[in-house]
Amino acid sequence: MRRQLAPSMVRAQIDAVDLRRPDLRRPFPRHFARRLERQTVIALDRRAKYLVGSLTSGETLLIHLGMSGSFRIVGERPRGRTTRRAMRLDPHDHVIFHMSSGAAVVFNDPRRFGIMELVPAGGLTRHPVLSRLGPEPLSDDFDGTALAHACHGKKTSLKAALLDQRVVAGLGNIYASEALHVAGLSPRRPASILATQSGAPRPAAHRLASAIKRVLRDAIKRQATPVYRASRFRVYDREGQRCSRSGCQGTIRRHVQSGRSTFYCPDCQR
């Protein structure tokens, strides 16, 4: 999503912001639209599941998509801008950023679990969520050693550990299941199996860290979004189907962990 938005937003000014309701998961910040208008987006980054927009005002636009949030770009043209009258809006289009690039960046969120915040200059390091996040899964800081260190002595399951944002930032339910299948590890095993008693990484830790990177990179290449189509996945939402691993005769099972559905193959995930 960040990669799709960047060409229309980075180095462009926010000419106007239309708020079509007063809140999403919670109310918009005070004077939200006014504080954004006439600000240029210096950079658009990502931290875990947050989009992080740096503004010329020094403030940071922080966006979380929630369960059902998405963006689309409407009417980007080299010459002239999309007028508000010309746009065809959905009832769930709640926020529209009109950019000097000529694009209208539309946020749609049927369930309204998304979040938009404005963080004061210098406030990201003190943010109640961002300040507690673990390493990014695709960064050089994340490897088998880091994963083993974070899981050393943990009594929780491997699947629950991967969803703990302090262990690894931004990995969600779908790709945690996918990575565990690639690594051949049961989601029900204790997370402590990744480390020795001294905290050194076991081979499983290196295998799982590599699997996490692999499934995320593959998903980005496919421009994947959390659309629940089983054909995209190895195990997720494939309960009762044959395991996709070559040579495995197992059948995918579903198991509920911490209120979330986990899909795995009991034959090849040990």
Q: Where residue 79 falls among pLDDT bands split at 50, 70, 90?
A: very low
The whole-model pTM stands at 0.86
Tens-place pLDDT, residues 103-146? 999 999 999 999 999 999 999 999 999 999 999 999 999 999 99
**What is the average pLDDT value for the chain, to the nearest integer?**
93
Residue 72 belongs to what H/E stretch? strand 70-74
Distance CA 234, CA 63 (A): 30
Query: What value does the mean pLDDT take over residues 196-225?
Result: 92
CA trace torsion 45, 182, 208, 219 (10° rounding):
0
> What would the pLDDT profile of 223-256 be if each residue is shown by its tens digit?
744 444 445 899 999 999 999 999 999 999 999 9
Residue 266 has pLDDT above 50, yes or no: yes
C-alpha dihedral sign at 168, 237, 223, 103: negative
pLDDT of residue 258: 85
CA distance 11 to 99: 10
Q: Which CATH superfamily is domain 2-132 in?
A: MutM-like, N-terminal (3.20.190.10)
Please identify which residue in the block is written with the tokens 């369930």.
111
Please give the share of the chain, as a percent, with pLDDT higher than 90: 88
What is the rounded CA–CA span in Å between residue 160 and residue 255? Answer: 12
DSSP string, 188-223: TSBGGGGB-TTSPBPHHHHHHHHHHHHHHHHHHHTT
Position 81 pLDDT exceeds 60: no
Comparing CA positions, the residue from 255, 231, 257, 254 lying closest to residue 244 is: 231
Specify the CATH class of 144-264 in words: mainly alpha
Domain boundaries, the chain: 2-132, 144-264
pLDDT at 78 over 80: no
Helix H or strand E segment including 45: strand 41-47
Mean pLDDT of 149-176: 96
Per-residue CA distances from 73 to 6, 9, 113, 184 (Å): 11, 10, 20, 39
